């Protein structure tokens, strides 16, 4: 147990981290993926949510936690603060209870994941660090606290599909070590095994239909496996660190592989965990997500490395390598912080303010393409948005394999007199979209998120 002085220092460091990241959180404007979560929670019942999440490809835990706040009229800032609290709590666990050196701790906290992506981007990913760190704390104490450990593993599985294999493998280890190997099976271990199994089963039941056509946004595609593999590796080692240099790709991948090999030399069991669970993530990316592997996803793989390194003994050289690996992403975290404070992550709120102040209340807005404009829709719940894909008013994004149908919108499907297109920019096909007279009435500032800057174009009847 650490002495009181160390505890106080760690609390103060956590507070300093929390205050710094809170400044960015309060400035951050919601972008489409964040807006979709809140809009689903606000507009769907629990049954409808479970039915729709097959299209999203995400387990329900984060949505169910946010739903009561969205349903009772709270601001979306509640979701942002929740994610910020999770990231801050994870930092305290790392400082207070981990086995890492001061240099390693500082490097992890100053990495782009903890400096920006986990505390600022309000998604289910933000829950993963604190849960993984709790699992690391309990790994060697699972015999003492089996039920608590099982609950943590079940929760991790239900944060995001990319963490499913991590939870499943740790669950299998638990069942083998505490039930199959034991001559006398304790009741608490059976209960714990049941909790883990139910947690994993819940994910399978919710998402089993996703890769088989329930969502064209997430669909297994093995036709371009080599291209997808190369693209995945470049994004995985590039997007997380902000480098666009073959030399830096090589350095980062060598450091990554060195850490993996070190884990292998210390624990074959933990190596199997890291190799299989990170490999599962790569499988998901290559077959489904190869187009966009955002930094937050990559850092979830790095959390698995942290879990394994937390448990194994480390010499000074590997501590240096671990610290160097994480600190290399610090500059990318600072870049995103600076960009978010100076510019807008999304121009959705800015565009919504223009609409509120300048366009008639009975206007109808047609997003092109629909997904990007969710950040505008979030800030304009009282205005009407029209889905050209589904020929109905829009409250959230319903995924369809015929998104291009919205380009044939001609105004005959609606009765409103004031019609405006909200067009994401840059959009190289913008001149091909319109076959009717139009007038640009507004152009937002550039955004950090791709496609989240907008033009408002008046439709002339």
pLDDT of residue 430: 60
Q: Which long-range contacts (CB under 8 A, 24 or more apart) does 36-40 make?
A: 36/371, 36/374, 36/396, 36/397, 37/62, 37/63, 37/66, 37/79, 37/122, 37/123, 37/124, 38/66, 38/70, 38/76, 38/79, 38/378, 39/374, 39/377, 39/378, 39/395, 39/396, 39/397, 40/396
Q: Which helix (H) or strand (E) holds 440?
A: strand 438-443
pLDDT of residue 294: 78
Low-confidence ranges of the chain (pLDDT < 50): 403-408
Say if CB 407 and CB 388 are below 8 A apart: yes
Among 287, 342, 255, smallest CA distance to 27 is for 342
For residue 203 the two structure tokens come to: 């994910």
Number of other CB atoms surrounding residue 21 within 10 Å:
21
| pLDDT, tens digit (0-9, with 9 covering 90-100), for 254-278 | 999 999 999 999 999 999 999 999 9
pLDDT of residue 259: 96
pLDDT of residue 428: 54
The crossing angle, in degrees rounded to 10, of helices 77-97 and 32-43 is: 110
Q: Tokens 């995001």 identify what position?
A: 160
pLDDT of residue 32: 92
Can you tell me the distance from the alpha carbon of 57 to that of 322, in angstroms, rounded to the nearest whole number? 32
pLDDT of residue 406: 43
| pLDDT, tens digit (0-9, with 9 covering 90-100), for 22-76 | 999 999 999 999 999 999 999 999 999 998 988 888 899 999 999 999 999 999 9
Number of other CB atoms surrounding residue 242 within 10 Å:
18
Name residues whose C-beta falls within 8 Å of residue 304's C-beta, 6 or more positions apart in sequence. 132, 166, 273, 274, 277, 278
Number of other CB atoms surrounding residue 459 within 10 Å:
22
**Cα atoms found within 13 Å of the Cα of residue 273, Cβ hemisphere only:** 28
Say if CB 178 and CB 189 are below 8 A apart: yes
The crossing angle, in degrees rounded to 10, of helices 246-266 and 316-327 is: 140
pLDDT of residue 415: 65
Phi/psi zone of residue 142: left (φ > 0), alpha (ψ -120 to 50 degrees), beta?
alpha
pLDDT of residue 407: 47
Q: Give first-to-last CA distance, the chain, whole Å.
A: 73
User: In whole angstroms, what separates CA 287 from the centre of its chain?
Assistant: 18
**Coil, strand, or helix at residue 288?**
helix
| pLDDT, tens digit (0-9, with 9 covering 90-100), for 373-407 | 999 999 998 899 988 888 888 999 988 665 444 44
């Amino acid at each position: 147990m650490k002495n009181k002085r160390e505890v106080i220092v760690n609390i103060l460091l956590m507070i300093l981290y929390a205050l710094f990241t809170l400044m960015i959180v309060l400035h951050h404007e919601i972008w489409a993926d964040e807006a979709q979560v809140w809009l689903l929670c606000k507009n769907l019942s629990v049954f409808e949510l479970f039915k729709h999440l097959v299209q999203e490809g995400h387990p329900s835990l984060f949505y169910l936690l946010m739903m009561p706040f969205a349903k009772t009229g709270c601001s979306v800032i509640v979701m942002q603060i929740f994610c910020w609290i999770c990231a801050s709590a994870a930092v305290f666990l790392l400082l207070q209870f981990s086995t890492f050196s001061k240099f390693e701790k500082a490097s992890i906290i100053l990495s782009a994941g903890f400096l920006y992506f986990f505390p600022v981007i309000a998604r289910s990913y933000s829950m993963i660090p604190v849960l993984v760190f709790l699992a690391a704390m309990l790994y060697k104490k699972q015999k003492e606290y089996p039920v608590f450990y099982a609950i943590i593993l079940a929760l991790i599985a239900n944060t995001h599909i990319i963490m499913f294999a991590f939870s499943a493998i740790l669950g299998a280890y638990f069942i083998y070590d505490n039930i199959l190997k034991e001559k006398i099976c304790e009741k608490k271990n059976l209960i714990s095994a049941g909790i883990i199994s139910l947690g994993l089963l819940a994910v399978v039941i919710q998402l089993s239909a996703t890769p088989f056509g329930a969502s064209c946004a997430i669909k297994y595609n093995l036709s371009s496996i080599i291209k997808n593999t190369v693209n995945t590796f470049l994004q995985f080692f590039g997007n997380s660190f902000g480098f666009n240099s073959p030399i830096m790709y090589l350095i980062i991948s060598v450091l990554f592989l060195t850490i993996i090999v070190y884990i292998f030399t210390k624990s074959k069991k933990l190596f199997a965990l890291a190799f299989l669970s990170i490999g599962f993530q790569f499988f998901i990316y290559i077959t489904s997500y190869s187009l966009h592997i955002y930094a937050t996803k990559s850092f979830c793989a790095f959390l698995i490395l942290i879990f394994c390194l937390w448990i194994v003994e480390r010499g000074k050289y590997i501590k240096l390598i671990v610290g160097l690996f994480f600190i290399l992403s610090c500059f990318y975290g600072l870049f995103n912080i600076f960009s978010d404070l100076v510019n807008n992550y999304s121009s959705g709120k800015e565009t919504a303010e223009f609409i509120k102040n300048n366009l008639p209340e009975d206007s109808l807005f047609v997003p092109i393409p629909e997904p990007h404009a969710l950040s505008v829709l979030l800030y304009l719940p009282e205005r009407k948005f029209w889905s050209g894909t589904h020929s109905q008013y829009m409250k959230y994004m319903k995924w369809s394999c015929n998104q291009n149908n919205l380009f044939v919108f001609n105004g005959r499907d609606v009765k409103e007199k004031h019609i405006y297109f909200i067009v994401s920019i840059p959009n190289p096909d913008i001149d091909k979209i319109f076959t009717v007279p139009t007038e640009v009435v507004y152009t937002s500032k550039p955004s950090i998120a791709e496609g989240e800057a907008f033009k408002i174009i008046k439709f002339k009847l």
